[in-house]
């Protein structure tokens, strides 16, 4: 794992955080309790801040970044990820806001200023264009992402299950790292 300070800012890690040895976390990044960043995730809070809420997970090869303060983006934009969020493999989240209990499918891209409200399911390979708002309780998919249909009760349950599954899995990895057993099941 690589945690690096940048311009006087050091990443803040909550209790029970799991960072894979290949993950890279730089600068103004705050990871709440039980967050997990899996192999080859990069969270680069160099020109603005990244905040990830409790029990959220970011899977292999995903990139998290922000927008700087400049003439075309006054004040810049942070990246804020809520609680109990699952970010699938190889996603790109750039200076956007992700609400609680969202699931972002593999290979999705969410751009600057976009907002995913709580309880949204974003299909794999989707592109959420800058400034777009995704409404609570809906499935979105496509390039550009379009509202497809309301989530079912089972899908709402799956959003919570996904986050809790990754908390259990990262706990097994932490146990194995500390010399205990844990990856056998």
Element (H or E) spanning 138, and its range?
strand 138-141
pLDDT tens profile 108-159: 999 999 999 999 999 999 999 999 999 999 999 999 999 999 999 999 999 9
Q: Rounded to an integer, what distance in angstroms lies between the CA atom of residue 160 and that of residue 166?
A: 10
Are 52 and 65 in contact by the 8 Å Cβ rule? The answer is: no
Quick one: pLDDT band at residue 179, thresholds 50, 70, 90? confident
Quick one: pLDDT band at residue 182, thresholds 50, 70, 90? low
CA quadruple 134, 123, 120, 72: dihedral sign: negative
Structure tokens at 149: 């249909």
Q: Is 45 exposed, middle or buried (0-12, 13-18, 19+ CB in 10 A)?
A: buried
Neighbours of 175 (CB within 10 A): 13
Structure tokens at 126: 């989707």
Quick one: pLDDT band at residue 185, thresholds 50, 70, 90? very low
pLDDT tens profile 67-120: 999 999 999 999 999 999 999 999 999 999 999 999 999 999 999 999 999 999
Domains, the chain, ordered by start:
2-177 (2.160.10.10)
Mean pLDDT along residues 21-36: 98
pLDDT tens profile 49-73: 999 999 999 999 999 999 999 999 9
Instruction: Evaluate if residue 1 carries a pLDDT over 90.
Output: no
pTM of the model: 0.95
């Amino acid at each position: 794992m690589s945690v690096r300070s940048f311009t006087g800012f050091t990443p803040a890690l909550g209790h029970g955080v799991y960072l894979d040895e290949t993950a890279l976390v730089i600068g103004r990044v705050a990871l709440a309790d039980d967050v997990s960043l899996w192999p080859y995730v990069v969270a680069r809070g160099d020109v603005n801040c990244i905040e990830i809420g409790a029990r959220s997970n970011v899977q292999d090869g995903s990139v998290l970044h922000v927008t700087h303060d400049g003439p075309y983006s006054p004040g810049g934009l942070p990246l804020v990820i809520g609680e109990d969020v699952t970010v699938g493999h190889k996603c790109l989240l750039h200076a956007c806001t992700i609400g609680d209990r969202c699931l972002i499918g593999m290979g999705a891209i969410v751009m600057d200023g976009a907002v995913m409200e709580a309880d949204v399911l974003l299909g794999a390979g989707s592109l959420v264009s800058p400034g777009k708002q995704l409404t609570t309780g809906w499935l979105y998919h496509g390039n550009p992402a379009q509202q497809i249909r309301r989530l079912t009760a089972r899908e709402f349950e799956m959003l919570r299950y996904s986050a809790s599954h990754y908390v259990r899995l990262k706990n097994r990895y932490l146990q194995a790292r500390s010399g205990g057993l844990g990856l056998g099941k």
